[in-house]
Chain A
Amino acid sequence: MLSIADNYFSQFELPVGYEIDLDRLNRQFRQLQVIVHPDRYAAAGDEQRLRAIKLSSYLNEAYETLKSPLRRAGYLLRLQGVDVDQVEQSDLDPELLFEQMRLRETLAELPRDESALEQLDDLRRSAGSRLARRREEFAGSLALDNLEQARKLFHELQFLTKFQVEIAKVEDAIFPD
């Protein structure tokens, strides 16, 4: 039916790395999805059907992980044996925390009406460009096998991604569709 590869990247015949060919990922995913689609095994035995269901959910997980820049980064670190879920405060840069607190306070203090739009735009733009920069640095650190640095950058990516979500929430609150 389909065999499970060593890792999500090879499952989709992609090189292991942060830079990813998303078109190729989408194409490969769709092809494999067809192969393991449980409907195809409706007439097959229980064992085959169960296997198709398992493979299908495995593929979904692999696809969602690689598609998301943040989850992909975390997965790459895990492949290198870095446990990104086990975080000690000493792993975090105090300046990063102070900056995140400042950003969150700035966002919280914005008026919840249209007068906040310009500042919201500024916050969103600067968070977006910072995120893009940090992603490049993350890719570079990983390529150089500097896992300590890559891990720190990953945590910053986590905070920045969350901050973007918070900005979007404020925007939704001002303009509920």
Chain B
Amino acid sequence: MAYSDKVLDHYENPRNVGRLDDSDANVGTGMVGAPACGDVMRLQIKVDGNGVIEDAKFKTYGCGSAIASSSLLTEWVKGRSLDDATRIRNRDIADELGLPPVKIHCSVLAEDAIKAAIADVKKKQGPAEE
């Protein structure tokens, strides 16, 4: 299957690969997987004092679309508030990357990962002034 130029770009030059210190209370980790493909994805975010995502890192073992979806997502969430980041939909990722229908599940995986990371950092920081 032919990958789009955007997928290839993220696949060949993935942004923000790496890890953040999970013991940091300002770091949230989302770990998700797709058993049918054997893919695993780790997406981490670090929030500043105002609840804005100041850094994001990912590591994905999977196909080009899964890597591109998580790479793009780390770019998108930086500078956003947690609530704002929650609103990113897999559809937005799939559209931006031009994913074909059989690869939509890769963008779903990325959405699951960011949601899990956000939930994790919220849990760590305890009940805030919401």
Residues of A within 8 A of B (CB): 85, 87, 89, 92, 94, 96-98, 100-101, 104-105, 108, 154-155, 158-159, 161-163, 165-166
Contact = CB atoms under 8 A, between A and B. Distances in A.
Nearest to A104: B61
Contacts of B1: none
Contacts of B59: 101, 105
B101 interface: no
A161 B38 contact: yes
Nearest to B19: A105
B118 interface: no
Contacts of A104: 40, 61
Contacts of A97: 31-33, 40
Given A89-B112, A100-B33, A159 B61 contact: no
Specify the main secondary structure of chain A where it touches its partner: helix
Interface string B29-53: 0011111111010100000000000
16 contacts: A85-B36, A87-B34, A87-B35, A89-B32, A89-B116, A96-B33, A97-B40, A100-B40, A101-B42, A105-B59, A154-B35, A155-B35, A159-B33, A159-B35, A159-B38, A166-B38
Interface residues of B, number: 14
A117 B42 CA distance: 27
A98 B31 contact: yes
A87 to B, nearest CB: 6
A85 B37 CA distance: 11
Contacts of B35: 87, 92, 154-155, 158-159
A92 B31 CA distance: 10
Contacts of B36: 85, 87, 158
Given A108-B61, A159-B40, 4 more contacts: A87-B36, A89-B116, A101-B40, A158-B38
A67 to B, nearest CB: 19
Contacts of B61: 101, 104, 108, 166
B103 to A, nearest CB: 15
A87 B39 CA distance: 13
A31 to B, nearest CB: 33
B37 A94 contact: no
Contacts of B34: 87
Contacts of B116: 89
A101 B29 CA distance: 13
A51 to B, nearest CB: 31
B112 A163 contact: no
Contacts of A161: 38
B108 to A, nearest CB: 10
